[in-house]
Amino acid sequence: MTDVTNQTQMQEAQMGDYFALMKPRVMQLVVFTALVGLLVAPVGVNPFVGFVAVLCIAVGAGASGALNMWWDADIDAIMKRTVNRPIPSGAVQPGEALAIGLTLSVFAVVLLFLATNILAAGLLAFTIFFYAVVYSMWLKRSTPQNIVIGGAAGAFPPMIGWAVATGSISIESILMFALIFMWTPPHFWALALFVKSDYGDAGVPMLTETHGRTVTRNHILAYCLPLVAVALGLGFTSIGGPFYLLVAVVLNVWFLKGCFAIWKRTDVDSDADSHAVERRTFVVSIYYLFGHFGALLIEAILRAYGLTAWAGW
């Protein structure tokens, strides 16, 4: 009896385990980009409605993370990086994760609709569907382009934030979407080049393993070039400005330089310096995304105070 009780105590899920189902680290990016999408929009939003909207977007993203963990529990148990997740570790039962994922999805979408508008709620519903069904269930295990397609799910939050404020989709929100969408592949493939993964053991096709590292290097540069165009193009829309353009030029030169260096290298070069360039470019890619969205936010503040007039903007 004591043994049974002890075992129950060990496997009792705590709030932290349920919170971990929602992939809190991914949620940080979602919250930040959704908030920027909302704040740079030309239409003001009541602060409380804005807070609830960002909360709904974060909960929706967390719900799709829970659904992803429910579906991928079998492969999470195989890979070292994911073996300690709540389901493979035994802290949370798969059925619980499914129930939490579905409940929070409905909760987030309905509340976002009631608080804001049907377009924002519809986009959130589509994002959850895209990540949980299109990416997790369908494409993740069937194509090495899974990172590219999965990136779309992570790219929707600023578009939803913009829709919360304006009730519409515009060139600005499409370019914010495109910025994250085009950034995701080089970001993850740079990581894949220096982290020894066990995706192969789990049956998940990753570009580095299905097509080789040289092809991955080509792909990184190939995605980086249109990414630069998108990032700079955003500077000429209504949410861009001199400050954003200045930051974007610096960040794009920095990132493009890294991607070009990755493309030029061979695996022998990479092994010789313990993948120093790949590691550095991966770190730069994180600064790159946060830098662009941070610059958009600062640009909006400067515009609100009329401080961009000096540049004749």
Chain residues binding another protein by CB under 8 A are: 5, 8-9, 12-15, 18, 46, 48-49, 52, 55, 111, 114-115
CB atoms within 10 A of CB 183: 24
Give every CB contact of residue 237 below 8 A, 6+ residues apart in sequence. Answer: 171, 172, 175
Rounded distance between C-alpha atoms, residue 47 and residue 121, angstroms: 18
Residue placing its CB nearer to another protein in the complex, 6 or 28:
6
User: Which one-letter amino acid corresponds to residue 149?
Assistant: I
Residue placing its CB nearer to another protein in the complex, 14 or 214:
14
Residue placing its CB nearer to another protein in the complex, 114 or 301:
114
Residue placing its CB nearer to another protein in the complex, 108 or 220:
108
Rounded distance between C-alpha atoms, residue 128 and residue 93, angstroms: 21
Contact 248, 292 (CB under 8 A): yes
Shortest separation between residue 33's beta carbon and another protein, angstroms = 22
User: Which one-letter amino acid corresponds to residue 107?
Assistant: F
Shortest separation between residue 141's beta carbon and another protein, angstroms = 33
**CA-to-CA separations, 8 to 11, 18, 215, in angstroms, rounded:** 5, 17, 49
Shortest separation between residue 165's beta carbon and another protein, angstroms = 14
Shortest separation between residue 4's beta carbon and another protein, angstroms = 12
Shortest separation between residue 18's beta carbon and another protein, angstroms = 8
Residue placing its CB nearer to another protein in the complex, 8 or 274:
8
Shortest separation between residue 60's beta carbon and another protein, angstroms = 15
Residue placing its CB nearer to another protein in the complex, 100 or 248:
100
DSSP 153-165: HHHHHHHHHHHHH
Rounded distance between C-alpha atoms, residue 82 and residue 88, angstroms: 8
